[in-house]
């Protein structure tokens, strides 16, 4: 089994020598140029030594020297690739990255691998989630080896599958159950339970409507098509209004949610509707992942000219899930498609000039925090 030193890099002279080797191999060069998707050749330190023109066209570059020596996450501007000076493949987030798994397993097992990679990238100062299919294989050359790295963007495929699932499964299931419940409600003996059945119909309909709306909003934000509507917001009045709306959701009306008494009454400027959506997503998640009799606390405070909203429950998040919590379409639940936390991150960090983060451990539970400037 080959030893992999994650932080080690080859010098640029070595990278250029590798590039010349593959460039001067006419047959290989012609084959790679004919591949319609992004195709890279990586050295043993996971750096690009050769690529096809599709990569340059995708990145809108005209010089291969701009990508040579970089690692895949660095080329696509993954938000985690710059967390450490050692770059792509060396942070704790890389442990759950499909691209990293494919490369390193091909290196150690000397076989082809296929993984799905969810990547959060920075694109013109906007966070955009990519879903990629990664295929890797090994090339053995004399005393050295290289990794082929084939990328297929499956964002649109995933989106279509989600819409198809909503259309053919969830919506059909909702219609069928609604028809059944309406038939039940026609019987005279269930007069006292009519509100219960109406709540079920309302909840299932709202869930599907919310998911479709979330998908539309993600598209708008990723493409930079939402302009914030800035107005003055009173923090505690704002939180009270959100709590009232959440407790009007039939499936959540018996949940326990409290506003911390020491929360700050602060006037600040932001987009009220977008911030409400970001907070509601986090609060609803906290309620849904809490036992029926467990309370969820929310609050706000000011610090260093910023206002911070927080949501806390007693449940902890496992380390592996923590690393993926903001990824597009990541979910541990069978009943949702994982757009809520991703949408909250897009709203806060792409539009509202803020930050969103969380802390989670067995002793204190989980706290999500949205941090915003007092003046937008």
Spell out the per-residue pLDDT of the chain, length 376, in tens.
Answer: 567 778 899 999 999 999 999 999 999 889 999 999 999 999 999 999 999 999 999 999 999 999 999 999 999 999 999 999 999 999 999 999 999 999 999 999 999 999 999 999 998 889 999 999 999 999 998 788 999 999 999 988 877 776 666 666 656 666 666 666 666 666 665 566 666 666 666 666 666 666 677 777 888 888 888 899 999 999 999 999 999 988 888 778 788 899 998 898 999 999 999 999 999 999 999 998 888 788 899 999 999 999 999 999 999 999 999 999 999 877 766 555 567 899 999 999 999 999 999 999 999 999 999 999 999 8
Q: Give φ, ψ of 27 to 5 degrees.
A: -65, -50
User: Topology of 12-153 in CATH?
Assistant: Beta-Lactamase (3.30.450)
- pLDDT of the residue at 258: 92
- pLDDT of the residue at 331: 75
**Cβ atoms of 98 and 106 closer than 8 Å:** no
Which class would CATH give 227-376?
Answer: alpha beta
- pLDDT of the residue at 222: 86
CA–CA separation, 194 and 183 (whole Å)? 11
- pLDDT of the residue at 157: 81
CA–CA separation, 28 and 341 (whole Å)? 43
Angle between helices 172-185 and 194-222 (to 10 degrees): 160
- 111 three-state secondary structure: coil
CA–CA separation, 290 and 255 (whole Å)? 9
- pLDDT of the residue at 170: 59
- pLDDT of the residue at 77: 96
Give whole-number Cα distances, 110 to 146, 147, 165, in Å.
10, 10, 37
Q: In 260-348, which ranges are E strands?
A: 267-271, 295-303, 306-313
CA–CA separation, 342 and 336 (whole Å)? 13
316, 251, 314, 262: which is closest to 284 by C-alpha?
A: 251
Residues pairing with 97 in the sheet: none
CA–CA separation, 43 and 167 (whole Å)? 45
Give whole-number Cα distances, 83 to 90, 93, 94, 103, in Å.
9, 10, 11, 20
- pLDDT of the residue at 297: 95
- 83 three-state secondary structure: coil
Count CB neighbours of 110 within 10 A: 13
CA–CA separation, 162 and 164 (whole Å)? 5
Q: Considering the entire predicted model, what is its pTM?
A: 0.81
- Where in the chain are the domains? 12-153, 155-225, 227-376
Q: Whole-angstrom distance between the N-terminal and C-terminal Cα of the chain?
A: 54
């Amino acid at each position: 089994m080959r030893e992999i030193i994650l932080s080690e890099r080859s010098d640029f002279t070595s990278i250029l020598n590798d590039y010349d080797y593959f460039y001067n191999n006419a047959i290989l060069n012609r084959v790679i140029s004919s591949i319609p998707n992004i195709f890279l050749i990586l050295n043993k330190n996971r750096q690009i030594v050769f690529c096809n023109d599709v990569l340059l066209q995708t990145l809108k570059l005209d010089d291969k020297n701009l990508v040579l020596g970089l690692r895949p996450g660095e080329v696509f501007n993954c938000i985690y690739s710059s967390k450490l000076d050692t770059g792509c493949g060396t942070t704790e987030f890389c442990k759950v990255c499909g691209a990293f798994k494919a490369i390193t397993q091909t290196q150690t097992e000397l076989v082809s691998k296929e993984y799905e990679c969810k990547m959060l990238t920075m694109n013109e100062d906007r966070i955009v989630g990519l879903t990629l299919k990664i295929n890797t294989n090994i090339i053995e050359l004399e005393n050295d080896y290289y990794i082929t790295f084939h990328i297929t963007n499956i964002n649109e495929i995933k989106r279509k599958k989600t819409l198809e699932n909503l259309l053919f499964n969830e919506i059909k299931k909702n219609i069928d159950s609604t028809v059944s419940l309406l038939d039940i409600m026609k019987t005279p003996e269930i007069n006292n339970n009519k509100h219960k059945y109406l709540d079920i119909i309302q909840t299932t309909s709202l869930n599907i409507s919310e998911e479709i709306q979330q998908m539309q909003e993600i598209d708008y934000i990723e493409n930079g098509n939402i302009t914030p509507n800035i107005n003055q917001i009173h923090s505690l009045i704002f939180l009270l209004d959100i709590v009232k709306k959440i407790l009007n959701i039939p499936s959540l009306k018996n949940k326990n949610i409290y506003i911390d008494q020491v929360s700050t009454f602060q006037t600040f400027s932001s987009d009220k509707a977008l911030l409400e959506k970001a907070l509601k997503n986090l609060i609803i998640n906290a309620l849904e992942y809490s036992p029926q009799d467990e309370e969820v606390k929310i609050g706000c405070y000011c610090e260093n000219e910023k206002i911070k909203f927080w949501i806390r429950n007693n449940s902890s998040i496992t380390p592996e899930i923590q690393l993926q919590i903001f990824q597009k379409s990541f979910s541990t639940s069978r009943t949702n498609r994982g757009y809520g936390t991703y949408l909250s991150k897009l709203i806060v960090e792409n539009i509202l000039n803020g930050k969103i983060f969380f802390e989670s451990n067995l002793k204190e539970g989980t706290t999500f925090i949205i941090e915003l400037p007092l003046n937008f």
